[in-house]
Amino acid sequence: MFDEINKNVVTILGIDKLPVEQQQEVMEKLGSIVYQEVMLRVLDIMDDKEGEAFEKLLETNPTPEVMFGYLAEKVPELDTIVKEEAQKIADDAQNIMSQIG
């Protein structure tokens, strides 16, 4: 799921034209932003009990696979949310890039 999103963001923003090291740096920063936006939306969707359980899970410092596995179980539309948030970030970044260039 995330590989496909990353490829789309790379292509939309023209990141693929950058040196590999810069591509990785840009994608890490964008990934962090997407992650934060996804978390905000998911926490709004979950009820209080699910939110508290998720907070307890986070305290254990889970792997991304475990964390997103839990979220996918509790929020069936997680894939859609991730894609939407990634697209929003890509669109915003593309708008900024077009204003600069």
pTM: 0.72
The pLDDT score that the predictor gives to residue 52 is 93
Q: Taking all residues of the chain, what is their mean pLDDT, rounded to a whole number?
A: 83
Assess contact for 12 and 86: CB atoms under 8 A: no
Provide the CA 7 distance to its chain's centre, in angstroms.
13
> Hey, how many other C-beta atoms are within 10 angstroms of the C-beta on 71?
21
DSSP 1: -
pLDDT of residue 9 exceeding 70, the answer is: no
pLDDT tens across 59-94, in order?
Answer: 999 988 888 889 989 999 988 898 888 888 878 877
For residues 22-39, average pLDDT: 83
Closest CA to 18 of 32, 30, 4: 30
